[in-house]
Amino acid sequence: MGRHCQLVMGPAGSGKSTFCSTMLTHCQTTGRKVHLVNLDPAAENFEYEPTIDIRDLITLEDVMEELDYGPNGGLIYCLEFLLNNIDWLEEEIGNYDDDYLIFDCPGQIELYTHFPIMRRLCEQLSRWNLNICGVYCLESQFIEDKNKYFSGVLSAMSAMVNLEIPHINVMTKMDLIQGDYGNKQGDDDDDDQDENDDDNDDDDVAATARRRQRRKNRRIKLEQLMTDRELDRYLDPDPMLMIEESNRLDDDELAGRAGKFHALNQAIVQLIDDYSMVSFIPLNITDDDSVEYVLSNIDHAMQYGEDLEPKEPDDAIELE
């Protein structure tokens, strides 16, 4: 069986390390051999200790201290140093044949969009016969600001175009918004109705309770429907979201800074729509089914499991 790896990318704070630890836990539970590879020279804490760690080769702290670089320049220097000493990584990875690797990458977007560093790394991994799937993480809180959301979509698309590898985009931290996002109606109408219900005779208490429950069930279904409809527009980017945002601007805002970039925003959204490359898979780390669904999409993208050998039981059953 060949070797496979996930390249976990995304902006800082998007939940990459949490994604990696969740995948490690899930894979280990199912009996899959998985190893964590840390490519972030500025990383500090891990839930799981990395099997391969770039900090054994170089650290951001040392670079900033010795070369007087800032954090961004130092991070780029560290990754370039890794590429110049790629034999170190080859030797480390060479010890794990037929295993599944998860690369936890830095959160500096320039590495995926402006510099060829990550692309060169992907090319090198391919030469070592590793099947790669890029996993771009974007946190769900981006959907609270449509402009910020579309900037995240654009960065994901840029990474897809530049890296040219099988790619999955994941909307992380869905446990923070699911069931609490969308056009939810208030409870005022229910409160008014409850007051009227309280005036009913005692003989009608049971019927009133049933009516309340039916109204509650209808409201829950409506809220869930509106939530799903709204989320679908973000999981599969809808250009109308930006148009709706522009329509809410008043004349003063259109004449000011917001209007100044109106045409540019429309062009960016049109670009995203024309390419039609970006869509997101929601991930709720508290739901095993959600984690399994994301993992199955990643496995499918890099054809994991097609050459798996049948597993043999550890202990043979002896027949008397």
pLDDT at 171 over 80: yes
Q: Which residue type is seen at 311?
A: K
pLDDT at 257: 57
Q: How far is CA 215 from CA 189, 193, 210, 220, 229, in A?
A: 11, 10, 9, 9, 21
pLDDT digits (tens, 9 = 90+) for 282-311: 999 989 999 999 999 999 999 887 666 655
More confident residue, 74 or 215: 74
Question: Does the pLDDT at position 220 exceed 70?
Answer: no
Residue 230 pLDDT = 77
Does the pTM exceed 0.85?
Answer: no
Report in angstroms the alpha-carbon separations of 233 from 100, 124, 238, 274, 283: 33, 37, 5, 16, 16
Distance in angstroms (rounded) separating the CA atoms of residues 140 and 137: 9
Inform me whether the pLDDT recorded for 198 exceeds 60. Answer: no
pLDDT at 188: 42
Look at residue 252 in the predicted model and tell me its pLDDT: 59
What are the tens digits of pLDDT across the range 111-155? 888 889 999 999 999 999 899 999 999 998 888 788 888 889 989
Two tokens, residue 152: 């995240």
Residue 249 in this model has a pLDDT that exceeds 80: no
CA distance 174 to 285: 8
Cα–Cα dist 305/27, whole Å? 13
- Which helix (H) or strand (E) segment holds residue 3: the answer is strand 3-9
Which has the higher per-residue pLDDT, 192 or 218? 218
Provide the total of helices (H) and of strands (E) in the chain, helices listed first.
14, 7
- Yes or no: say if 39 and 122 are a contact pair by the CB < 8 Å rule: no
Q: Which two tokens stand for residue 229?
A: 């409809």
Mean pLDDT of the chain: 80
| Residue 117 structure tokens | 């560093």
Of 271 and 139, the one with more pLDDT: 139
3-class secondary structure, 202: helix
List all residues 6 or more positions away from 156 whose beta carbon is below 8 Å from its beta carbon: 136, 138, 169, 278
What per-residue confidence (pLDDT) applies to 238?
84
> What value, to the nearest 5°, has the Cα angle with vertex 162 and ends 156 and 166?
70
User: In the predicted model, what is the mean pLDDT of residues 13-39?
Assistant: 91
What pLDDT is stored for residue 148 in this prediction?
A: 85
Residue 249 burial (CB count, 10 A):
14
Between residues 53 and 183, the one the model is more confident about: 53
Q: What are phi and psi of 231, to 5 degrees?
A: -65, -35
